[in-house]
């Protein structure tokens, strides 16, 4: 009976995720969708920064060198519970700076809500056509706003973009993040765009229309993964999130295991929160005709599934099955059944290697590091991914709070392309 349960879980999980194989093939063999410019819009750029004096100048400088008309861009920075020169640096670049001090409400969602409330009270609801959101450690290509505006001008009221890494080649952790985000762009959002489904916002580097703010009555997204919450809440209201492949920005990835561990604990807990709040609505949306984009509901439902809990249950079933076999057949019976777990682990390692190979095949020229580092990442990426299982199981039993990630890689777009990052 336990073996039947294990097999059923495996079959159901495989069926649920099989559409991503189609997505990967689309990403591998098709070109991204592109649009012609539909006119200039006025944008507010929103940056939430907490003690980011080491990197903020890089982002603001890259925003000052956009090919988009500068009179159509206003910079806003919320210095969120800062104890350094973040606010002064932002002002030196001509940004409107708000200093926020609230130890009770910590996180990017609260900071963005604070900033947007100020903009709406000062400028009104209709002064800006849209809002661009970045993290302080980002830097953007000179044509970023010009390109994302094209997709925005062609009917997409929320647009996400191409997330690359500043420090892909620093170590196995940064390359793991780098491959994951490149896969998200090329093998998820790009196919979603082509098949007419909805994409999903991932942390930073996205644009939303002023009417989206009205629709949600402000920025009321305060879960630990406010980006996924925003995506799900918007799709539930009938929005279709677009993707702009040519709007490229660079993100700094954590280099230490401890920081990566804390960040992934937060993400894993945040996904559980989103599942608890929205899974029922997403599941119903798959079957209700009143929803325009039912497959997007299915896609997001699978994305927020607590796969770690399913994995833990499967592991317990395998262990129980092995113990039962040991009672009946002795040590040989135990190890024969445990071999199925080993085979599953090896298969998962191979699957993640294949995932990394696909990313390298499609994004080789976009990955800014040496060839040996790129090739090595094929073998280390599975380790990065398998740790997600451990993280996902731990957050089932542990309370997680938002913890800031320290950034130190101060680098320009040109330096990234020349593979010459520097830390300060």
The residue with tokens 């113990």 is 323
Closest listed residue to residue 249, CA positions, set 151, 179, 145, 155 = 145
Q: Is the CB of residue 157 less than 8 Å from the CB of residue 207? A: no
pLDDT > 70? residue 218: yes
> Domain 41-256, what architecture?
Alpha-Beta Complex (3.90)
The pLDDT confidence band at residue 57, using thresholds 50, 70 and 90, is: very high
Q: What is the pTM of this model?
A: 0.92
Strand order through the sheet with 96-100: 96-100, 73-80, 43-49, 130-135, 206-209, 158-165, 242-251, 139-140
Q: In this predicted model, what pLDDT tens digit does every residue of 258-295 receive, in sequence order?
A: 999 999 999 999 999 999 999 999 999 998 755 568 99
Would you tell me the crossing angle of helices 307-329 and 371-394 to the nearest 10 degrees? 80
pLDDT > 70? residue 29: yes
The DSSP bridge partners found for residue 140 are 249
**Mean pLDDT, rounded, for 34-61:** 94
pLDDT at 416: 87
137: tokens are: 């450690």
Higher pLDDT, 238 or 317: 238
């Amino acid at each position: 009976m336990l073996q039947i349960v294990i097999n059923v879980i495996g079959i159901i999980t495989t069926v649920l995720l099989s559409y991503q194989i189609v997505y990967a093939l689309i990403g591998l063999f098709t070109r991204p969708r592109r649009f012609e410019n539909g006119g200039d819009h006025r944008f507010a750029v929103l940056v939430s920064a907490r003690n980011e004096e080491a990197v903020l100048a890089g982002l603001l400088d890259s925003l000052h060198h956009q090919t988009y008309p500068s009179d159509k861009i206003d910079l806003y920075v919320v210095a969120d519970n800062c104890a350094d020169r973040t606010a002064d640096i932002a002002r030196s670049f001509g940004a409107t700076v708000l200093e926020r001090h609230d130890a009770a409400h910590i996180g990017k969602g609260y900071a963005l809500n604070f900033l947007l409330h100020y903009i709406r009270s000062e400028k009104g609801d209709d002064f800006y056509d849209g809002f661009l959101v970045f993290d302080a450690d980002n830097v953007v290509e000179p044509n970023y706003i010009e390109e994302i505006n094209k997709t925005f001008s062609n009917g997409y009221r929320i647009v996400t973009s191409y997330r690359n890494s500043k420090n892909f080649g620093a170590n196995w952790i940064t390359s793991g993040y780098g491959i994951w985000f490149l896969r998200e762009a090329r093998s998820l959002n790009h196919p979603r765009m082509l098949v007419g489904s909805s994409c999903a916002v991932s942390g930073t580097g996205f644009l939303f229309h002023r009417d989206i703010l009205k629709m949600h009555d402000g920025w009321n997204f305060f879960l630990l993964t406010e980006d996924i919450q925003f995506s799900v809440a918007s799709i539930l209201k009938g929005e279709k999130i677009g993707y702009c492949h040519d709007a490229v920005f660079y993100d700094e990835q954590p280099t230490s295991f401890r920081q990566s561990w804390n960040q992934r604990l937060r993400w894993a807990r945040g996904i559980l929160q989103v599942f608890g709040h929205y899974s029922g609505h997403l599941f119903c949306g798959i079957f209700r005709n009143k929803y325009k984009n039912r497959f997007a509901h299915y896609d997001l439902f699978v994305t927020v599934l607590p796969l770690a809990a399913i994995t833990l249950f499967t592991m317990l079933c395998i262990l129980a099955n092995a113990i039962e076999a040991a009672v009946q057949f002795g040590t040989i019976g135990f190890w024969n059944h445990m071999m199925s777990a080993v085979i599953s682990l090896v298969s998962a390692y191979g699957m993640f290697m294949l995932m990394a190979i696909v990313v390298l095949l499609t994004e080789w020229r976009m990955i800014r590091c040496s060839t040996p580092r790129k090739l090595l990442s094929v073998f280390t990426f599975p380790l990065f991914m398998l740790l997600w299982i451990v993280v996902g199981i731990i957050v089932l039993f542990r309370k997680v709070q938002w913890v800031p990630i320290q950034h130190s890689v101060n680098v320009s777009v040109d330096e990234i392309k020349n593979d010459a990052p520097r830390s300060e």
